[in-house]
Amino acid sequence: MRNSLTALILGLSLGGAGAAMAPLSYAAELDNNPGVTAEEQIREILSEAVNEYRTGRFNQAAARLADALALNPENRLIYEFYLAIGHAKFIRMSERAELTEVMKEVLRRHNVYQRELRQSEDYIRLLISKLDERQDTRFTDERQRFVATRELVAIGPIAIPHLIKHLVDNREDRLRVYCRVVITQMGYRAVVPLMEALKAEDSRLVAAIAVSLADIQDPRALPPLQNLVDHHEDETVRRVAANAIQQIAQVNGLAGRLDSGATLYFKEALRYFRDGDQVRDETVANEALMWRMDGNDLTYERVPAYAWNELIAEQLLFDGASAYTDTQAFYPLLATVLAAQMTEVEERLNIARERITEPNRSYLTTAALEERQQAVELLEDRIIAFGATHLYRGIQQAIVSERYDVAARMMALLRDPRLAHAERLLPSKGEGLMAGKAGTVLVAALDHPDKRVAYHAAITLAHLDPKLEFFNAEKVVPNLAQAVGEWAMKVVLVVDPDYRSRNAARNALQSQGFFVITAADGFEARARLAETPVKDAIVIAGDLIPTLRDEWGRTIEVPEQTAAGLIAALKADRRTANTPIFLSLPENPELAVAVENELGDQVSGVVRRPYDAVELEGTINLVLGDAELPETNRRAREQVALEAATALASVDPQNKSQFALEPALDALIATISHRADALRIQALRAIAHTAAPSRINQITDVYQELDSAGQLDGKDDVRIAFLYAIGNVDATTEAAVEIIAAAMQHASREVQRAAHTAAGHGGTPSSAVLLRYQQQQRLDVRSPGAGN
C-alpha cells in the first residue's frame, strides 16, 4: 500500500466493488481541467525520468527532470509527480549525487503548491467530506478516513472553523464524531482557535467545544472555561465546562489548586507577554493567526509573527477584564502589553532600514514594518489614558518580566510632570521604598543592574520638578553622567580566564576608542550583560575551562563554563542573539588550531593572543561595519546618551534644584569632542549650567580643534551651543575672546547673535576687549532715516 499521504492526495475514487484506485489527485477534484499539450509533454518527460532512474541511468534521469523543469510546469504538476512516485522513492532518488540538486527544486515546487493547496477552503471542505464518504469496501472506507484525518491535522488551525461547524450537526452523527477526532488529534495547535470559539452564541456549540478542549487536556483553555462556569447563562454549558476543567486540572496535576478566573486570565496573559521558548513554539504552531468569533462564525487574521504573543496577551486581558470587571490588576499589564507592541515594531524597523538584502518573511520588509508602525502609533494615546498609577505598576511588571526595552518606553511617557504626579506618587526621602506608593518603582530603578533601566529612570526623574525631594534623588545625576559617557562609545565584552590576557585586551581596545568590560568566566559574563545589556561585540577565550566545582571537587556541568556552551547561551539570549561574537585563540599553536576547527564556524571572527591593538580593532570593526544590529545598537546608545544630556541641560541654574550637576561634568566635557551633533549640543547646554570658570580651556580647546579641522562647517547649531557654553562659563580668556570675535563676523545671523549674547553673558570684559568688540562690530549708522 502506498504511504498514507500519497494515498490521500491521489484520492480514492472507486466506481464499484473491486475497482482499481484511480490516480486522480484531490487537486484535480477541485479543478478538473482537460490536459493541454504542454501538460501531457511534461508528464511524459517526468515519466521518462522515473524510468531512467529505475534502470540505473541516473545522469539521464537528472537530465530528463531538468528538461521538465525547463518547460516551467505549474507547481501542481510537480506536486502530483511527487505524490505519484511516493515519499520513499523521492528520498531514494534525492540520495543519488547525480539527482540531488534537481530533486531539491522538485521538493521546493512541491512544498509551494502544498502550502497553497492547504490554504484552500474548498480543499479543506473536500477533506472533511472524505471523513465520512461511504465506499464499497470497509478497507477503502477506513483507509480514506485515516488519510484524510492525517491531512487535516497537518493543515492545522485554519481547518478549525470548518470542523467545528459539524460538531452540532445531529443529522451527521458519524461526521460529527470524526471531526471531533481530527480536532483532538490536532492537539495543542487547536487550542487557541477553540478558546475563541467558546464565545459562540449557540450554547450547543459552546458545550461541544468545551468537550473537545477536555479531550485535548491543554491547561491554556482553563481561563475561558472558568469564565463559562462563572458567567454563562446555560446550565448545561456550565456543567460541561466544569467537567472539562476538572479533567484538564487532573491530567496536569492542578486538581484542588486552581486559581480564580481573573487570576487564570492574568497569569496566562503574563506568560505570553514574557515570551519564551514555549510561546515561540506556539507562534509557529498557530501560524501567527489571531481569531475572532462573530455569532457562530469563527474567522482568522494573519498577523506579524513577532507581534503574535503580545496580541494574544492583549486579547486575554480584554477578555479577562470584561468577565471580571472589578479586577484592577489587568490594567497595568495591558498598558505594558500595548507599549511592547510599539517597542517591538520600532526595534525591528531600525534593523530593517539598515538591511541590504530582502528578508525571507514578508512581514519583516521595511514597507510592512512602516505600515505596522503607523497602525500602532495611536497606542501611545491609549497607554497615557491609563493614568500614572497604572503606568508605574506597568513599569514594575515590565522590569520583573525582563522586558527592559518596554520599561524604558513607559518611563519616557512619565517625563510629563502633569502625568507623573510625582508629588503624590514618588516616595519622599524619609519614606524610602514603599510598596504602597506606585512611583517607588521609578526611584528603585536607579539601582537596577541593567543600565538601560537605571539610565531611563534617571532621565525621567530629571524631567520632573527639580525642587521635589524624593528617595534616591542623589543617584540621578551620577546615572545621567554615566549614560552620557559610557553609552556614547562602542562596548566590547571580553571573557578570558587569564587576568593578564583580560588586561591586555582592555588596554588594546581602549587605545582604539572602545569601552571595554571584562569577565573571568561565563557566569561573570552573563552578569555583565545584565549591567550593560547593549554590546557591540563579545570576545570569548577559546580555552575557557570549567571553574565551578561541587564539594568533592568534581566539575559541575554548566554550559557557560566552556567557550562552546557560552557561545550557545549568548546566541539563545535575546539581548545578544545578533551580537557578533569573536573567538580569541590560545597562544599554543596546536591548541589554537584545535579550538578554531571546533568553534570557528560558530563565531563572526577569530583574534589571536597575545592581542595586537590594531589587528584586534580592525577585526572587530570589519564585522561591525557589515553587521545589522551594531549600527542599531550605536543609535540606541546615542539616543540614551542624548536623552541623558538633555535631562542634564534641562536643569535651570536660576531655579532652586536638589540636583548637583558637578559630578557629571567630566562625562559631559568628554562628550563634546567626537560625538553626534545632537548629543554635543545638549552636553554643551548642560556644561553651560554647571561648569566653573576653570573648565573654560577644555571647552575652547575642543572648539578650536573642531573648527580648524572644518568639522563645524555648516553646523551653525553646534557653533551656537559652544558659544552659549563659553558665554556662561567664562568669556574673558584669550581663546574665548578670539572665538567670540570670529563668530561675531560669521555669515550666519544666528551665529552672530549667539556670539554677541556670549559676550554679554560673560559679564563685564576688560576695556581692551570691549573696545575690540565694538570697533569690529561698529555700525556706522548715519544716513539711514535722514530722508535724503
The pairs formed by 584-592 with CB atoms below 8 angstroms and a separation of 24 or more are: 584/494, 584/496, 584/501, 584/505, 584/539, 584/540, 584/541, 584/542, 584/608, 584/609, 584/611, 585/542, 585/609, 586/541, 586/542, 586/543, 591/543, 592/542
Distance CA 87, CA 399 (A): 50
Predicted pLDDT of residue 19: 28
Least Cα distance to 537 among 564, 561, 504, 509 occurs for 509
3-state secondary structure 443-506: HHHHHCCCHHHHHHHHHHHHCCCCCCCCCCHHHHHHHHHHHHHHCCCCEEEEECCCHHHHHHHH
C-alpha grid cell for residue 301? 487574521
- Mean pLDDT across 289-297: 93
- Mean pLDDT across 30-49: 72
- Mean pLDDT across 18-23: 30
Strand 491-495 vs strand 515-519: parallel, antiparallel, or unpaired?
A: parallel
pLDDT at 16 over 70: no
C-alpha grid cell for residue 66? 531538468
Write the pLDDT tens digit of every residue in 117-157.
888 888 898 889 888 766 554 445 677 888 889 989 989 99
Distance CA 580, CA 221 (A): 41
Distance CA 411, CA 467 (A): 20
Q: Please, are residues 64 and 49 in contact by the beta-carbon 8 Å criterion?
A: yes
Distance CA 767, CA 593 (A): 74
∠ CA 351-355-359 to the nearest 5 degrees?
Answer: 95
DSSP assignment string, 503-567: HHHHHHHHTTT-EEEEESSHHHHHHHHHHS---SEEEEETT-----B-TTSPBP--GGGSHHHHH
Predicted pLDDT of residue 319: 94
pLDDT at 412 over 80: yes
DSSP assignment string, 619-651: HHHHHHHH-SHHHHHHHHHHHHHHHHHHHHHTS
DSSP annotation of 614: H
Write the pLDDT tens digit of every residue in 558-590.
777 888 888 888 888 767 777 889 998 888 888
pLDDT at 419 over 70: yes
C-alpha grid cell for residue 762? 560673560
Predicted pLDDT of residue 451: 79
Distance CA 441, CA 444 (A): 5
DSSP annotation of 21: P
Q: Please, are residues 81 and 25 in contact by the beta-carbon 8 Å criterion?
A: no
Q: Is the peptide bond before 693 cis (omega within 30 degrees of 0)?
A: no
- For CA atoms 472, 474, 476, 479, the dihedral sign is negative
Least Cα distance to 183 among 172, 167, 169 occurs for 167
- Mean pLDDT across 778-785: 69
| Alpha helices by DSSP H, 252-325 | 261-274, 277-285, 308-323
DSSP annotation of 361: S
Beta bridge partners, 354, equal none
Beta bridge partners, 277, equal none
Predicted pLDDT of residue 284: 87
How crowded is residue 90: how many other Cβ atoms within 10 Å of its Cβ? 18
Q: Which of 21-30, 242-251, 638-647 has the lowest mean pLDDT?
A: 21-30
C-alpha grid cell for residue 427? 516616595
- Mean pLDDT across 319-332: 92
pLDDT at 443 over 90: yes
Cα distances (angstroms) measured from residue 520 to each of 95, 349, 506, 525, 563:
47, 36, 13, 7, 12
